[in-house]
């Protein structure tokens, strides 16, 4: 997608002013801890995404990007904190400049402001995972399955996939619930209609038969369908006072009595009592009362258990022991959840009984105001509300105390309601009998109304059923699809991860395999341990192996996610626990498997930097070495031009002591590099603490030996011209070495550089010049790179530079 050409960092984090030219190639930033390497990483992330995850991640408390992103001396001047990167957008073949400042981190200034480029940069900004630190690395490997799933989901942007899955499930569930309620409504409407028609089974035949009997009484022709029961009935032109249809009202009152008998009967009382006992038993378990909240707390908590001490009180804990204990609690709550479902199943028939009673009494509410004397309709309405509240409580089930209270009263119908029903019944019974014709008209009117209600209920039920089926089907198709795609992803990533890891550990774990095991909201990760079985990565593998696992998993995920667009990544000291030989393999891996990806890598370890160079992961000057950092100036780098200029600056102000210290420090660094490149013999030190007196003379001696060997080789090929050329180089080098007097350190390492401090400016200037010239003697005159011996092991064959213009043969002609 992109590669980064250069970066300019001003007043950002610990950096005052730094320009790095990556030239779209791999690049290494090396330096001891606290020298500003991570500042470069942060600046890259900021320029590309507008954020610095290190300042906004977990546990950062009051630290904020805007307040703490600028250099500490510019903390009140965030617009001075600026990062400018020049990136090449591969797909467009365009180079654009991106600039951000910390005053408005989300505002990005892109030049040229090309819409296509902006779209690419938007996609880059959506992938902050291009920056990887060891902190993130370990999250992939040592995290709990739940946490790992979160990390991997974030990297793959699976949160959207899971969100849609959850929403579609919710929609299907809510449609199911709606259907259940409408089924009840429809059943009640059916019962009411049957009662009005006075039939036992709701069939078209029975309904028509009943309707036509009544129609015949008032001289209407028989119907053949139930389109309009009242078809042909005269519509009254004058409003008549409404009256209670006596026969229907009596039937409805009878139904209400039957419902009351059911709800107050032994069966209901016993069922309610049984459920009360179950709830009391559940409630006696102290963990149950807040089971839902606690289960959620435990599940969240076990996912967060990572540190060796409590994050709240810092008391150390036994992580494995704690996890086991919490898992027992979660399992216990799952058992509670199972018991709760059993109770819910027992409650369901009670809810049906309450609904039936509520529907029956609601019907009577329509007659109440028409009765003489009128029956207070509020009594029926209050009962109706009470039934609805009871149903809601029984569905909610928690808190148990309130549910138990509802169950204790579920079979009690208050005397006020019973009296109201009795009073209504008396009033209805007292009504004069209608004429046969009036009774038939009333019958047909009620039947017509209830048929309408029934039809509407059935229509709604049908729509709800169709919706529920469709929603469930869609949810199921989505679940199947996403499971298939994700399983495919995990299988592919698992395979690629195994292959990458085997490459890094070839010869040691050639048969290594891994298993990514997805389950609901979790992602298990087990790895083979030398054929002894599959275990979590942290179980038996060393920390170094875990680091390389995390790294390989990251690479596999990125390669899957971004495919050919995985063109850029920042690796912030990610392999600190990996040993030298495996780092070398990592270099080879990156070079072989990701030739089109630009890696910007930081490391505190100069040896790994050398590996990057020898494996040609980085070439030429594609590296920077920070030597120190101070709050006023930010990082200082080992750079020839910088060092000599800096030494001159100190001498200008007569600060010989500082200039001498800097020269000594730089010569130590450079001498080590020269010994490495020239394969010089140096007395081995287990602590790797080599002094200048041990390194520089060895490098000079080696250079002389190489010239000698080169002349011998040239003679064997009978190339006198080359012999002369090498002799000239050797003579010049000898003069430089002698002038510096460096080899005398072998005699007494303590004398010379310590005595520099006591020199005057005039005495020290020639010393500086001599060493500057000496170091130049180790360089190619064209590319100014230090020469190196090739190959880096076995018999030396060649001395050459990076550009290839200096190439001195060391191999003699075979006779």
Partner 1 sequence: MSSTKSQQEVPEKVFQEFLQNLTDAGISVELVTRLRNVLLVNKTFTEIALKGAVLGEELVP
685 lines the binding site for partner 1 (CB under 8 A)? no
Q: How far is the CB of 424 from partner 1 (least distance, A)?
A: 32
Q: Are 54 and 63 in contact (CB under 8 A)?
A: no
Give the residue, chosen from 133, 178, 291, 357, that forms a contact with partner 1 under the rule CB under 8 A. 178
Site string for partner 1, 237-256 (x = CB under 8 A): --------------------
For residue 519, the SS3 value is strand
Structure tokens at 12: 């950002």
Q: Tell me, what DSSP letter sits at residue 801?
A: -
Q: Which residues pair with 712 in a beta bridge?
A: none
Give the residue, chosen from 209, 470, 652, 769, that forms a contact with partner 1 under the rule CB under 8 A. 470
223 lines the binding site for partner 1 (CB under 8 A)? no
Cα separation of 491 and 470, whole Å? 31
Q: Considering beta carbons, is residue 591 or 665 the nearer one to partner 1? A: 591
Region 653-682 residues binding partner 1, contact defined as CB under 8 A: none
164 lines the binding site for partner 1 (CB under 8 A)? yes
Give the residue, chosen from 327, 581, 596, 645, that forms a contact with partner 1 under the rule CB under 8 A. 596
481 lines the binding site for partner 1 (CB under 8 A)? yes
182 lines the binding site for partner 1 (CB under 8 A)? yes
From the CB of residue 40, how many other CB atoms can be counted at a distance below 10 Å? Answer: 28
The number of residues that bind partner 1 (CB under 8 A) is 48
Token look-up 């520089």 returns 696
144 lines the binding site for partner 1 (CB under 8 A)? no
Q: Considering beta carbons, is residue 130 or 256 the nearer one to partner 1? A: 130
3-state helix, strand, coil in the chain (%, to 5): 60, 10, 30
Q: Considering beta carbons, is residue 3 or 625 the nearer one to partner 1? A: 3
116 lines the binding site for partner 1 (CB under 8 A)? no
The set of residues, in sequence order, having a beta carbon less than 8 Å from that of 375 and lying 6+ positions away, is: 367, 368, 369, 420, 423, 424, 427
93 lines the binding site for partner 1 (CB under 8 A)? no
Cα separation of 61 and 71, whole Å? 19
Does the bond joining 112 to the residue before it have cis omega, within 30 degrees of 0? Answer: yes
486 lines the binding site for partner 1 (CB under 8 A)? yes
64 lines the binding site for partner 1 (CB under 8 A)? no
453 lines the binding site for partner 1 (CB under 8 A)? no
Give the residue, chosen from 161, 226, 322, 377, that forms a contact with partner 1 under the rule CB under 8 A. 161
180 lines the binding site for partner 1 (CB under 8 A)? no
Q: How far is the CB of 180 from partner 1 (least distance, A)?
A: 12
Please identify, among the stretches 286-294, 520-528, 593-601, 742-750, the one whose residues bind partner 1 according to the rule CB under 8 A: 593-601
163 lines the binding site for partner 1 (CB under 8 A)? yes
485 lines the binding site for partner 1 (CB under 8 A)? yes
Q: Considering beta carbons, is residue 564 or 741 the nearer one to partner 1? A: 564
473 lines the binding site for partner 1 (CB under 8 A)? yes
Structure tokens at 81: 């904190």
Q: Considering beta carbons, is residue 488 or 804 the nearer one to partner 1? A: 488
Please identify, among the stretches 36-44, 272-280, 559-567, 571-579, the one whose residues bind partner 1 according to the rule CB under 8 A: 559-567
134 lines the binding site for partner 1 (CB under 8 A)? no
Bridge-based pairing state of the strands 82-89 and 27-30: unpaired
Q: Which residues pair with 594 in a beta bridge?
A: none
Give the residue, chosen from 151, 496, 528, 615, that forms a contact with partner 1 under the rule CB under 8 A. 496
Helices (H), 615-760: 640-652, 656-678, 692-716, 720-740, 751-756
569 lines the binding site for partner 1 (CB under 8 A)? no
Cα separation of 70 and 14, whole Å? 8
Q: Considering beta carbons, is residue 87 or 279 the nearer one to partner 1? A: 87
Q: Which helix (H) or strand (E) holds 790?
A: strand 788-790
Q: Are 380 and 365 in contact (CB under 8 A)?
A: yes
The set of residues, in sequence order, having a beta carbon less than 8 Å from that of 334 and lying 6+ positions away, is: 295
Bridge-based pairing state of the strands 94-101 and 798-800: unpaired
For residue 205, the SS3 value is helix
Q: Considering beta carbons, is residue 494 or 585 the nearer one to partner 1? A: 494
Give the residue, chosen from 92, 110, 125, 171, that forms a contact with partner 1 under the rule CB under 8 A. 171
Cα separation of 387 and 383, whole Å? 6
Q: Considering beta carbons, is residue 137 or 182 the nearer one to partner 1? A: 182
Cα separation of 490 and 2, whole Å? 26
Q: How far is the CB of 459 from partner 1 (least distance, A)?
A: 8
Q: Are 759 and 656 in contact (CB under 8 A)?
A: yes
Distances (CA, A) of 576 to 44, 580, 618, 642, 722: 21, 10, 18, 29, 45
Question: In the 3-class helix/strand/coil scheme, how is 233-266 assigned residue by residue?
Answer: CCCCCCCCCCCCCHHHHHHHHHHHHHHHHHHHCH
Q: How far is the CB of 503 from partner 1 (least distance, A)?
A: 13
482 lines the binding site for partner 1 (CB under 8 A)? yes
474 lines the binding site for partner 1 (CB under 8 A)? yes
Q: Are 692 and 667 in contact (CB under 8 A)?
A: yes
Give the residue, chosen from 41, 130, 156, 371, that forms a contact with partner 1 under the rule CB under 8 A. 156
Give the residue, chosen from 158, 333, 361, 703, that forms a contact with partner 1 under the rule CB under 8 A. 158
Q: Considering beta carbons, is residue 596 or 754 the nearer one to partner 1? A: 596
566 lines the binding site for partner 1 (CB under 8 A)? yes
Site string for partner 1, 417-436 (x = CB under 8 A): --------------------
Q: Considering beta carbons, is residue 20 or 152 the nearer one to partner 1? A: 152
Cα separation of 365 and 269, whole Å? 26
Please identify, among the stretches 78-86, 168-176, 523-531, 694-702, the one whose residues bind partner 1 according to the rule CB under 8 A: 168-176
Q: Tell me, what DSSP letter sits at residue 805?
A: S
Cα separation of 455 and 205, whole Å? 16
Q: Tell me, what DSSP letter sits at residue 208?
A: H
The set of residues, in sequence order, having a beta carbon less than 8 Å from that of 61 and lying 6+ positions away, is: none
Q: Which residues of 674-689 are buried (b: 16+ CB within 10 A; e: fewer)?
A: bbbbbebebeeeeeee
Site string for partner 1, 504-543 (x = CB under 8 A): ----------------------------------------
Q: Considering beta carbons, is residue 480 or 542 the nearer one to partner 1? A: 480
772 lines the binding site for partner 1 (CB under 8 A)? no
Please identify, among the stretches 211-219, 357-365, 490-498, 734-742, the one whose residues bind partner 1 according to the rule CB under 8 A: 490-498
Q: Considering beta carbons, is residue 178 or 636 the nearer one to partner 1? A: 178
C-alpha dihedral sign at 473, 168, 518, 550: positive
Give the residue, chosen from 56, 64, 109, 160, that forms a contact with partner 1 under the rule CB under 8 A. 160
Give the residue, chosen from 100, 246, 393, 562, that forms a contact with partner 1 under the rule CB under 8 A. 562
Q: Are 782 and 806 in contact (CB under 8 A)?
A: yes
**Burial class of residue 49, CB neighbours in 10 A (0-12, 13-18, 19+):** buried
The set of residues, in sequence order, having a beta carbon less than 8 Å from that of 511 and lying 6+ positions away, is: 502, 528, 531
Cα separation of 486 and 91, whole Å? 28
325 lines the binding site for partner 1 (CB under 8 A)? no
Q: How far is the CB of 126 from partner 1 (least distance, A)?
A: 9
Which residues make up the interface to partner 1 (CB under 8 A)? 1, 156-158, 160-161, 163-164, 167-168, 170-171, 175, 178, 182, 460-461, 463-464, 467, 470-471, 473-474, 477-478, 480-482, 484-486, 489, 492, 495-496, 556, 559-566, 593-594, 596
């Amino acid at each position: 997608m992109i590669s980064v050409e250069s970066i300019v960092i001003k007043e950002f984090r610990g950096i005052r002013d730094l320009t790095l030219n990556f030239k779209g190639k791999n690049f290494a930033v090396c330096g001891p801890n606290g020298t500003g390497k991570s500042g470069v990483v942060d600046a890259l992330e900021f320029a590309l995404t507008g954020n610095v995850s290190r300042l906004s991640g977990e546990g950062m408390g009051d630290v904020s990007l805007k307040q703490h992103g600028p250099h500490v001396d510019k903390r009140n001047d965030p617009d001075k904190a600026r990062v400018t990167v020049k990136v090449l957008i591969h797909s467009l073949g365009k180079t654009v400049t991106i600039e951000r400042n910390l005053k408005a981190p989300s505002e990005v200034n892109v030049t040229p402001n090309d819409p296509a480029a902006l779209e690419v940069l938007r996609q880059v900004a959506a992938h902050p995972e291009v920056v990887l630190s060891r902190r993130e690395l370990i999250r992939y490997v040592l995290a709990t399955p739940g946490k790992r799933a979160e990390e991997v989901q974030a990297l793959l942007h699976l949160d959207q996939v899971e969100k849609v899955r959850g929403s579609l499930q919710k929609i299907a569930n809510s449609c199911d619930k709606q259907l259940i309620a409408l089924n009840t409504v429809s059943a009640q409407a059916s019962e009411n209609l049957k009662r009005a028609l006075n039939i036992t089974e709701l069939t078209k035949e029975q309904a028509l038969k009943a309707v036509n009997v009544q129609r015949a009484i008032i001289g209407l022709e028989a119907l053949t369908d139930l389109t309009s029961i009242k078809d042909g009935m005269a519509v009254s032109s004058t409003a008549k006072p409404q009256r209670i249809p006596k026969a229907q009202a009596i039937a409805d009152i009878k139904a209400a009595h039957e419902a009351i008998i059911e709800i107050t009967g032994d069966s209901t009382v016993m069922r309610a009592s049984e459920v009360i006992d179950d709830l009391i038993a559940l409630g006696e378990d102290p963990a149950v009362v807040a089971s839902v909240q606690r289960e959620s707390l435990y599940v969240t908590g076990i996912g967060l258990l990572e540190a060796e001490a409590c994050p709240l009180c810092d008391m150390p804990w036994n992580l494995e022991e704690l996890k086991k204990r919490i898992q027992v609690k979660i399992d216990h709550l799952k058992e509670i959840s199972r018991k709760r479902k059993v109770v819910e199943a027992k409650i369901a028939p009670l809810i049906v009984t309450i609904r039936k009673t509520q529907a029956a009494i609601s019907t009577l509410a329509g007659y109440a105001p028409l009765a003489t004397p009128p029956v207070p309709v509020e009594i029926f309405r209050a009962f109706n509300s009470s039934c609805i509240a009871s149903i809601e409580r029984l569905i909610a089930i928690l808190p148990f105390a309130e549910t138990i209270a509802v169950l204790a009263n579920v079979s009690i119908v208050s005397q006020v309601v019973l009296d109201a029903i009795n009073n209504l019944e008396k009033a209805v019974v007292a009504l004069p009998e209608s004429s046969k014709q009036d009774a038939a008209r009333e019958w047909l009117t009620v039947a017509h109304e209830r048929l309408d209600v029934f039809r509407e209920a059935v229509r709604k039920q049908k729509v709800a059923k169709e919706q529920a089926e469709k929603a469930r089907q869609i949810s199921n198709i989505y679940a199947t699809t996403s499971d298939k795609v994700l399983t495919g992803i995990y299988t592919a990533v698992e395979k690629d991860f195994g292959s990458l890891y085997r490459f890094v550990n070839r010869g040691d774990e050639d048969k290594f395999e891994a298993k990514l095991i997805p389950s609901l909201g979790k992602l298990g990760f087990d790895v083979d341990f030398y054929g002894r079985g599959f275990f979590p990565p942290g179980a038996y593998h060393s920390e170094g192996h875990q680091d390389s696992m995390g790294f390989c998993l990251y690479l596999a995920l990125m390669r899957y996610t971004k495919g050919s667009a995985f063109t850029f990544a920042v690796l912030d000291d990610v392999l600190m626990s990996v040993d030298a030989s495996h780092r070398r393999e990592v270099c080879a891996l990156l070079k072989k498997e990701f030739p089109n990806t630009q890696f910007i890598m930081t490391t505190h370890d100069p040896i790994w930097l050398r590996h990057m160079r020898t494996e040609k992961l980085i070439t030429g000057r594609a590296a920077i070495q920070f030597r120190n950092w101070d709050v006023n100036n930010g990082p200082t780098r080992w750079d020839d031009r910088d060092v000599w200029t800096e030494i001159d600056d100190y001498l200008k102000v007569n600060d010989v002591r500082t200039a001498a210290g800097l020269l000594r420090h730089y010569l130590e660094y450079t001498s080590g590099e020269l010994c490495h490149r020239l394969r010089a013999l140096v007395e081995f030190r287990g602590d790797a603490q080599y002094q200048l007196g041990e390194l520089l003379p060895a490098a000079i001696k080696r250079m002389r030996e190489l010239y000698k060997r080169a002349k011998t080789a040239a003679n064997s090929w009978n190339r006198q011209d080359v012999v002369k050329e090498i002799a000239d180089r050797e003579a010049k080098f000898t003069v430089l070495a002698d002038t510096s007097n460096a080899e005398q350190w072998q005699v007494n390492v303590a004398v010379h550089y310590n005595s520099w401090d006591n020199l005057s400016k005039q005495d020290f200037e020639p010393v500086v010049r001599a060493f500057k010239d000496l170091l130049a003697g180790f360089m190619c005159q064209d590319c100014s790179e230090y020469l190196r011996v090739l190959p880096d092991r076995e018999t030396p064959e060649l001395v050459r530079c990076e550009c290839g213009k200096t190439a001195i043969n060391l191999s003699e002609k075979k006779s």
